[in-house]
Chains A and B, each alone.
Chain A
Amino acid sequence: EPEVTQTPSHQVTQMGQEVILRCVPISNHLYFYWYRQILGQKVEFLVSFYNNEISEKSEIFDDQFSVERPDGSNFTLKIRSTKLEDSAMYFCASSEGFRPKLFFGSGTQLSVL
């Protein structure tokens, strides 16, 4: 079965550093998302992306965050200057349309020290 793949599985960085989280969505999907989950808390929406532009973003997704689809297969989340509170599991997801089910990757555990 096709799956969403994310790399790396773990990322440790120093506060203030830039990180890029990478995702390869399912090939025929058109909608892409980033969610995050702080340990013990809810899965939270960050951003949705369609047709090479952001379709919606949450309050969490401030100017320090950006997304990009640099080619036909990758989808990235960049955090420009990481803060301690950015430590979380970041999930990439994709879907065929905006209504049906989302397929999630296994996540990247980001630890900001």
Chain B
Amino acid sequence: SQKIEQNSEALNIQEGKTATLTCNYTNYSPAYLQWYRQDPGRGPVFLLLIRENEKEKRKERLKVTFDTTLKQSLFHITASQPADSATYLCALDGSSNTGKLIFGQGTTLQVKP
């Protein structure tokens, strides 16, 4: 069955450093992959979408890569700030025409000042 794994349950880094989060998937060939941010008690907030034919996507301090051979996406936050502390979710499209997303369990990022 389709499986999505995100690296480690928590990631602690120092302010100003680059955070790198990993999303691996198996038994699936998604047409696109998305990253969301989730704060405690809140709904996920969309950050970036990358399609299967794209290698890299950037938005301000965020960068996402997508390697369909390795079945892996990397999510980078450069010059991290304490306000970046949250849980980051990887999501794959679950079907071709219904918008269903399959989420990973998330990686909690803590940026220390």
Contact = CB atoms under 8 A, between A and B. Distances in A.
A104 B44 contact: yes
Contacts of B106: 42
Q: How large is the interface on A (under 10, 10 to 19, 20 to 34, 35 or more residues)?
A: 20 to 34
B103 A44 contact: yes
B100 interface: yes
A43 B103 contact: yes
A45 B100 contact: yes
Contacts of B41: 89, 106-107, 109
Contacts of A33: 99-100
B97 interface: yes
A45 B102 contact: yes
A89 B44 CA distance: 12
A56 B43 contact: no
Contacts, number: 63
- Interface SS of B by simple majority: loop
A101 B97 contact: no
B43 to A, nearest CB: 3
Interface of B: 31-32, 34, 38, 41-46, 49, 89, 93-95, 97-106
Interface of A: 4, 31, 33, 41-45, 48, 50, 55-56, 58, 89, 91, 93, 95, 97-107, 109
20 contacts: A42-B103, A42-B106, A43-B44, A45-B94, A45-B100, A48-B98, A48-B99, A55-B98, A56-B95, A95-B99, A97-B99, A98-B98, A99-B31, A101-B34, A101-B49, A102-B101, A104-B43, A104-B45, A105-B43, A107-B42
